[in-house]
């Protein structure tokens, strides 16, 4: 058996970091994945690493290491190594996350494809990727898809301590129980994951082992993740947000993962209580949904819970205050991008209402104007980051070729500002800006004013065509349960707080606001609805 600290780390890499025994990520980046798997199995072999709520089963650190090593042998026997692509079509499960970690620990490239959101593009994605192996969840793909796309196909199956089915049955039969081949170098591709694709062709974002590993320690520090934590997440592990925060960061820190298949408003607090989760993932949509739960729920019911995260979309200070006052549970906001991983984060002791936390230092984040000039504290501009002048931010085009989106520094498409203490505030997407008479208006500012009214449950502001000013400000509102507030009352409320050019000219009441699959308000859909309802004003 390989030794815990020297089996995969080059001899010249003698530096240490973190808890004093983890090697630097400077030499063989994916070697850290092997190191963490071995360290956790040695220190706490019977500690649960993944508890899958819906599957009602768990995998320990020792069992995870055994599965990963057997997977390495399986992949090596198939001739799969560095930069060879392994595609996975599956939803949240122990098998999904264990395979995600195992493929990268072997040194190959894992390609995660969301089964629900990318279904219409499976054939195009797989043809472009040309994977050596496709792993799929039962019922996730059409039977004839394997005939028209590249790669060997293998059912992911079911992991069990005694062997399981599909891939895990094949792994249980293997005699080799050690790593095979060399882990990937920093510049080798670690993962490719696809964005949504419900209204546009999904984009395959590529991260190297170095880019991925570099994000983990700063992220874990920002969210205060330690060995005793149990992170509850229901978000799709096909996307980087959950993969990094609730998969790789717990692995690096020796923590545990509690996984749900999907969000459930009625079961969420029971999950927290029953699993004794210490950190729970969330986003503005799920937090608003939880607000409709029973008034008797409070933080006293969940003594283990430190805080709930919120990411994917801006959460206004008003919404955060409302949630914390209701439940007494702190919110730690975070912010990231597909191309750069997590960018900022906070926990229950470092949070600042309305802020996504302080940027991770290594990103060298700046707020810049259109010409790229850094702006002073408090001034809104474009979010730009990048500390490596030769880093390429990459994606996979439909042909499967890797293309460069930006080099050196990267603008995320978000607008925001840094306060005097270095906290980052996101004010919205650049593409969502309302330009009225040449003046830029951030919709989220108006949303926040509307949400100050207790009779408003949700709000989303859009810009619609105006023959004189170019765009007019219109707000769409969902009333709080039982509320009967009128349009005139809300217009007066906004007019008393906002300058006249920012105040909405119309309030449209809706039963619900459209959301993207990531829980963000779909302002494009609201604009399209307005266009259909007002054909003469287009």
**Same domain flag for 332 and 285:** yes
Q: Where are the beta strands (DSSP E) in 38-128?
A: 48-52, 57-60, 85-89, 109-113
Task: Give residue 22's pLDDT.
Answer: 47
Structure tokens at 305: 């819970």
Q: Please tell me whether residue 201 adopts helix, strand or coil conformation.
A: coil
Structure tokens at 168: 């895990």
Task: Give residue 2's pLDDT.
Answer: 34
Residue 131, pLDDT above cutoff 60: yes
Task: Give residue 31's pLDDT.
Answer: 86
Percent of the residues in the chain that have a pLDDT greater than 70, as a whole number: 92
**Same domain flag for 187 and 201:** yes
**Same domain flag for 228 and 305:** no
41 CB-side CA count, 13 A: 21
Task: Give residue 195's pLDDT.
Answer: 77
Nearest to 29 by CA among 184, 178, 182: 184
Within 8 A by CB and 6+ apart from 295, the residues are none
The model's confidence at residue 19, banded by pLDDT at 50, 70 and 90, is very low
Mean pLDDT of 339-359: 96
Q: Measured between alpha carbons, how far is 189 from 4 in angstroms, rounded to an integer?
A: 25
Return phi, psi of residue 391, to 5°.
-75, 135
What DSSP state is assigned to residue 182? P
Q: Measured between alpha carbons, how far is 344 from 338 in angstroms, rounded to an integer?
A: 13
Task: Give residue 143's pLDDT.
Answer: 61
Residue 373, pLDDT above cutoff 70: yes
The model's confidence at residue 20, banded by pLDDT at 50, 70 and 90, is very low
**Same domain flag for 269 and 246:** no
**Same domain flag for 240 and 325:** no
Residue 346, pLDDT above cutoff 50: yes
Which of 396, 431, 466 represents a domain boundary (last residue)?
431
Maximum average pLDDT range among 28-42, 246-260, 523-537: 246-260
Task: Give residue 157's pLDDT.
Answer: 93
315 CB-side CA count, 13 A: 30
Neighbour count for residue 43 (Cβ, 10 Å): 13
Q: Measured between alpha carbons, how far is 361 from 343 in angstroms, rounded to an integer?
A: 9
CATH number of the domain bearing residue 470: 3.30.300.30
**Same domain flag for 363 and 348:** yes
Residue 262, pLDDT above cutoff 50: yes
138 CB-side CA count, 13 A: 7
Q: What share of the chain is helix, strand, coil (3-state, %, to 5)?
A: 30, 25, 45
- Residue 332 forms beta bridges with which residues? 309
Within 8 A by CB and 6+ apart from 367, the residues are 374, 375, 379, 380, 381, 382, 383, 384, 416, 417, 418
Instruction: Say which range, 382-386, 396-400, 445-449, has the weakest mean pLDDT.
Output: 396-400
Instruction: Say which range, 362-366, 455-459, 463-467, has the weakest mean pLDDT.
Output: 463-467
**Same domain flag for 425 and 504:** no
Estimate the crossing angle of helix 317-327 against helix 443-451, to 10 degrees: 30
Give the pTM.
0.85
Task: Give residue 174's pLDDT.
Answer: 84
The verdict on residue 12 lying in a domain is no
CA angle 530–534–538, rounded 5-degree value: 90
Q: Measured between alpha carbons, how far is 394 from 403 in angstroms, rounded to an integer?
A: 6
Mean pLDDT of 88-93: 95
Which of 412, 431, 450 represents a domain boundary (last residue)?
431
**Same domain flag for 157 and 212:** yes
pLDDT tens-digit profile of 168-221? 999 988 877 789 988 888 999 999 998 764 446 778 999 999 999 999 999 999
**Same domain flag for 486 and 533:** yes
Nearest to 84 by CA among 123, 128, 126, 133: 133
Percent of the residues in the chain that have a pLDDT greater than 90, as a whole number: 70
Task: Give residue 536's pLDDT.
Answer: 67
The verdict on residue 71 lying in a domain is yes
Residue 42, pLDDT above cutoff 90: yes
The model's confidence at residue 8, banded by pLDDT at 50, 70 and 90, is very low
Task: Give residue 196's pLDDT.
Answer: 64
CATH number of the domain bearing residue 318: 3.40.50.12780
- In the predicted model, what is the mean pLDDT of the chain? 89
Residue 5, pLDDT above cutoff 60: no
Residue 247, pLDDT above cutoff 70: yes
Mean pLDDT of 472-488: 94
Look-up of token digits 């302002």: 523
The verdict on residue 6 lying in a domain is no
Characterise 142 by phi-psi region: left (phi > 0), alpha (psi -120 to 50), beta (else).
beta
Instruction: Say which range, 276-280, 298-302, 515-519, has the weakest mean pLDDT.
Output: 515-519
The verdict on residue 20 lying in a domain is no
Q: Measured between alpha carbons, how far is 16 from 21 in angstroms, rounded to an integer?
A: 6
**Same domain flag for 101 and 224:** yes
The verdict on residue 41 lying in a domain is yes
Domain region containing 296: 263-431
The verdict on residue 213 lying in a domain is yes
Maximum average pLDDT range among 14-18, 21-25, 275-279, 500-504: 275-279
Pairing state between β 410-418 and 506-509:
unpaired
The verdict on residue 423 lying in a domain is yes
Q: Please tell me whether residue 203 adopts helix, strand or coil conformation.
A: coil
pLDDT tens-digit profile of 135-145? 999 876 766 78
Contact 521, 313 (CB under 8 A): yes
**Same domain flag for 418 and 468:** no
Nearest to 483 by CA among 461, 457, 446: 457
Maximum average pLDDT range among 176-190, 342-356, 504-518: 342-356
Mean pLDDT of 346-351: 97
Q: Is the dihedral angle over the CA atoms 490, 493, 494, 495 positive or is it negative? A: positive
Characterise 477 by phi-psi region: left (phi > 0), alpha (psi -120 to 50), beta (else).
beta
Q: How far is CA 290 from CA 261, 300, 323, in A?
A: 17, 16, 9
CA angle 144–147–149, rounded 5-degree value: 110
Q: How many domains does the chain have?
A: 3
Q: Measured between alpha carbons, how far is 29 from 525 in angstroms, rounded to an integer?
A: 42
The verdict on residue 509 lying in a domain is yes
Task: Give residue 30's pLDDT.
Answer: 66
Which of 253, 278, 304 represents a domain boundary (last residue)?
253
Residue 294, pLDDT above cutoff 80: no
Look-up of token digits 């505030």: 425
Return phi, psi of residue 270, to 5°.
-65, -40
What DSSP state is assigned to residue 185? P
**Same domain flag for 341 and 268:** yes
């Amino acid at each position: 058996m390989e030794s815990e600290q020297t089996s995969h780390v080059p001899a010249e890499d003698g530096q240490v970091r973190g808890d004093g025994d983890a090697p630097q990520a400077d030499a063989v980046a994916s070697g850290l994945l092997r190191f963490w798997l071995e360290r956790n199995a040695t220190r706490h072999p019977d500690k649960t690493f993944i508890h899958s709520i819906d599957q009602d089963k768990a995998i320990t650190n020792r069992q995870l290491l055994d599965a990963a090593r057997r997977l390495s042998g399986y992949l090596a026997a198939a001739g799969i190594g560095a930069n060879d692509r392994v595609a996975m079509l599956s939803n949240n499960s122990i098998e999904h996350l264990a395979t995600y970690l195992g493929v990268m620990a072997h040194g190959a490239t894992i390609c995660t494809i969301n089964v629900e959101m990318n279904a219409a593009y499976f054939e195009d994605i797989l043809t472009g990727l040309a994977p050596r192996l496709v792993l799929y969840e039962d019922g996730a793909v059409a039977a004839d898809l394997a005939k028209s796309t590249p790669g060997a196909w293998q059912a992911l199956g079911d992991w069990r301590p005694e062997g399981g089915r599909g891939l895990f049955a094949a792994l249980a039969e293997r005699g080799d129980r050690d790593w095979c081949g060399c882990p990937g170098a920093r510049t080798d591709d670690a993962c490719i994951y696809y964005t949504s694709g419900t209204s546009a062709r999904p984009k395959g974002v590529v991260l190297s082992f170095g880019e991925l590993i570099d994000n983990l320690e700063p992220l874990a520090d920002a969210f205060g993740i330690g060995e005793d934590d149990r992170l509850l997440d229901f978000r799709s592990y096909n996307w980087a947000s959950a993969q990094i925060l609730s998969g790789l960061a717990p692995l690096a820190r020796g923590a545990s993962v509690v996984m749900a298949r999907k969000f459930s408003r009625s079961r969420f607090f029971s999950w927290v209580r029953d699993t004794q989760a210490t950190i729970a993932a969330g986003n503005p949509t799920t937090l608003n949904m939880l607000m409709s739960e029973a008034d008797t729920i409070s933080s006293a019911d969940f003594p283990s819970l430190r805080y709930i995260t919120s990411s994917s979309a801006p959460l206004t200070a008003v919404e955060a205050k409302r949630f914390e006052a209701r439940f007494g549970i702190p919110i730690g906001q975070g912010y990231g991008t597909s191309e750069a991983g997590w960018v900022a984060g906070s926990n229950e002791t470092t949070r600042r209402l309305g802020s996504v936390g302080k940027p991770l230092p290594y990103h060298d984040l700046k707020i810049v104007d259109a010409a790229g000039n850094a702006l002073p504290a408090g001034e809104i501009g474009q979010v730009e980051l990048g500390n490596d002048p030769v880093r390429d931010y990459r994606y996979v085009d439909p042909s499967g070729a890797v293309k460069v989106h930006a080099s050196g520094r990267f603008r995320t498409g978000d607008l925001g500002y840094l306060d005097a203490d270095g906290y980052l505030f996101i004010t919205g997407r650049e593409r969502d800006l309302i330009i009225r008479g040449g003046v830029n208006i951030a919709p989220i500012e108006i949303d926040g004013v509307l949400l100050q009214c207790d009779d408003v449950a949700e709000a989303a502001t859009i810009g619609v065509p105006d023959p004189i000013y170019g765009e007019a400000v219109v707000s769409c509102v969902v009333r709080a349960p039982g509320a009967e507030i009128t349009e005139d009352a809300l217009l007066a409320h906004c007019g008393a707080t906002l300058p006249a050019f920012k105040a909405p000219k119309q309030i449209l009441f809706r039963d619900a606001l459209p959301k993207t699959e990531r829980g963000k308000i779909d302002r494009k859909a609201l604009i399209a609805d307005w266009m259909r309802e007002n054909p003469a004003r287009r």
